[in-house]
Amino acid sequence: MHLSKKWWIGLPVLFGLVYFAQGAVAPRLEDDLRAAILSRVARSPDAIDRPEVRVAGRDVVLAGISLSRDVKAQLLTTLGVETPARRIIDATQPLSRATPFVLRLERRGGKAIISGNVPPTGARERLRAEIAALGLEVSDSAAYADGAPQSFPELASFAVRRLAELDPASTTMTDATLAVSGEARSAADYDKALAALKASPFGESAVKVAVSPPRVSPYVFSAAARDGVISLSGHLPSDDLRKQVVAMAAAAGAGAAVSDAIQLGAGAPAGDFAGALAFAVGELGKLSQGKVAVSDGRIIIEGQGRQNILGETIRADAKARLPSGFEIARLDVMAGPMTPYVFGAQRAGGDVTLTGYAPDEAVRNRLVETARRNFFDAKVVDRLVIAKGAPQNFAEATDHSLAALARLDEGKLAISDLNISLAGVARHQSARAEIAASFADTLPQSFRGEAQLSTRIVGSPLVASQCGAALSELLAKSPIVFVSDDSAIAAESAPVIDAIAATALRCPGATLEVAAHTDSLGIAEVNVGRSKRRAQAVVDRLAKAGLDPLRISAVGYGGERPIASNDSDENRARNRRVEIVVK
């Protein structure tokens, strides 16, 4: 074949094409090589940390932190075999030594944070796996470092387990020591965490604990006394305070067994919480049975008082001893057995004030109603307190004594156990003598009565019109009551009879007609006779009080002069009446 002598003229063009082809392909080949190197390095995480790869042609420079000399050497050999690299230059730096070696694990809700140092022996992967097993999201910014203690794997796993019990939580491993702090997620987690920390296999000096119980709201502590046992429940902020409260309860119970079901919890109210607990438990000791509770800053006390303990006793204690910031929210204490057992009634002005004790609500109501019925012209003020310890027949003795006091214009009744004293001013001399003579005799057996009475001086004289108005006013306040169908005046009408007599004695020039009336039931002649006897009974009482019998007369009208129709019990009761006409 014949070649042209000028064949070389095309060589520059050919060389140019080859040159430009190599320039276009080389960067892509370098990128592929870099990716292959990094992929293989990633499969050996214990060899190089934070690897960097630079490629020039087929020459590779591998930089980063060398985690293990042996693992790295094995990796470099593998890269020379498994990749098209012509030459691999080792530019890695040796692993630095952390002094001290610190690893921090923190929990904030559903997220765990790893920071500080981890050793290059698979520890990072184990930590992440253990944390992920708790259901937590992992954020890892820890750096590899040399110098981890020999106990690192066990100590780190121990710290991870505390993240399951605390939130927020912080664990800091410094060389071979561990500091754990945070708030327990529940009372059970608190107990579990404390038990694990106290029994850690690393020694007491290796683990520092600052763990708080779970936060509680509302914050409630309660103590109840019943059947010889004081039961404690609710929450307290520390075990030391719990021990103090148990001791307080044992002292308050005076020999009672103490059942402790207290749980620890954060969130106790501000202020002197320990002082408020001391007050509450101390007041429980004043109850034979009952309950006290401290709910945030509010205190509840309820139950049955011991001997001589009233609700007011506890209220006074609170005023003197309860720390600032705390208040009595509810106080419902039934008075305990009182000794001496006292009752008092004082009549002054237009009021009759009842003080002291009543054994139960039924007796209290009875005494108040007795007073209102007897003291027809006074307002009854009830200041009685329910309390145990009343002597036998207390209610009967008090009824009789109130009836006697009601006959006085002013006076005072005092009962102390079985001793009763009555002092005051009778409305007239006859009433004074009658009350003084019968007071002790009407009391139930075992009660001792003493009456010290004087007589009211008769007031200024009244003209006939004034006398009539005054008598009508008395009868309007309290009609005279008779025993059933009989003509005997009921004992409850003695006070109004005395008041009528005292008023009539101020009418020296007047003539009085006592007129009695009945309703329309029954036989008319019988009713007239009954009304005549009733009028006469009133006249006899007035004469006994000192009125001139010649100036008073009795008349019975039966049902002849009704003031209301006799078509109802109420109207018939209005028709059964006594009137006094002044002439």
Q: Give me the residue spans of the domains in the chain.
A: 8-94, 102-212, 220-334, 342-455, 464-582
- Taking each helix axis as running N to C, give the angle between helix 152-163 and helix 187-198, from 0 to 180 degrees, rounded to the nearest 10: 160
Digitized pLDDT (tens) for each residue of the chain, 583 residues in all:
454 555 555 555 545 544 444 455 668 888 988 998 889 888 888 788 889 999 998 899 999 888 888 888 898 888 888 888 889 999 888 888 999 999 999 999 999 999 999 998 788 999 999 999 999 999 999 999 999 999 999 999 999 999 999 999 999 999 999 999 999 999 889 989 988 888 888 887 888 989 999 999 999 999 999 999 999 999 999 989 999 999 999 999 888 999 999 999 999 999 999 999 999 999 999 999 999 999 999 999 999 999 999 999 999 999 999 999 999 999 999 888 999 999 999 999 889 999 999 999 999 999 999 999 999 889 999 999 999 999 999 999 999 999 999 999 999 999 999 999 999 999 999 999 999 999 999 899 999 999 999 999 888 999 999 999 999 999 999 999 998 777 899 999 999 999 999 999 999 889 999 999 999 999 999 999 999 999 999 999 999 999 999 999 999 999 999 999 999 999 999 999 999 999 8
Kindly give, in sequence order, each residue whose CB lies less than 8 Å from that of residue 451, ignoring residues fewer than 6 positions away.
404, 421, 422, 423, 435, 436, 439, 440
* Predicted local confidence at residue 330, as pLDDT: 96
- The burial of 156, by beta-carbon neighbours within 10 Å (0-12 exposed, 13-18 middle, 19 or more buried), is given as buried
Q: What is the pLDDT of residue 461?
A: 94
Give the 3-state secondary structure of 45-57. CCCEEEEEEEEEC
Q: What is the amino acid identity at position 571?
A: N
Q: How far, in Å, CA of 482 to CA of 319, rounded?
A: 53
Does an H or E element contain 451, and which? Answer: strand 448-455
Contact 517, 559 (CB under 8 A): yes
Nearest to 68 by CA among 88, 53, 52, 46: 46
8-94 topology per CATH? Alpha-Beta Plaits (3.30.70)
Assign domain 464-582 to its CATH architecture.
2-Layer Sandwich (3.30)
Could you say which of 3.30.565.10, 3.40.1190.20, 3.40.1520.20, 3.10.129.10 is the CATH number of the domain covering 220-334? 3.40.1520.20
DSSP state of 547: -
CB atoms within 10 A of CB 101: 20
- The amino acid occupying position 330 is R
Number of Cβ atoms within 10 Å of the Cβ of 127: 23
Residue 342 in 3-state DSSP? strand
Assess contact for 404 and 435: CB atoms under 8 A.
yes
179-215: b (≥16 Cβ within 10 Å) or e: ebbbbbbeeebbebbbebbeebeeeeebbebebbbbe
Residues 347, 410: contact at Cβ < 8 Å?
yes
- Rounded Cα gap, residues 476 and 564, in angstroms: 15
Please name the amino acid found at residue 185: R
Which pTM was predicted? 0.65
Are residues 461 and 444 in contact, defined by beta-carbon separation less than 8 angstroms? no
Q: What's residue 80's pLDDT?
A: 84
- Is the previous residue joined to 100 through a cis bond, with omega within 30 degrees of 0? yes
Nearest to 356 by CA among 367, 347, 348: 367
Is 308 strand, coil or helix?
coil
What one-character-per-residue DSSP string does 518-534 give? Answer: --S-S-HHHHHHHHHHH
The answer to whether the 220-334 and 342-455 domains have the same CATH topology is: yes
In the CATH hierarchy, which fold is given to the domain comprising 102-212?
hypothetical protein tt1634 (3.40.1520)
Q: Which CATH class is domain 342-455?
A: alpha beta
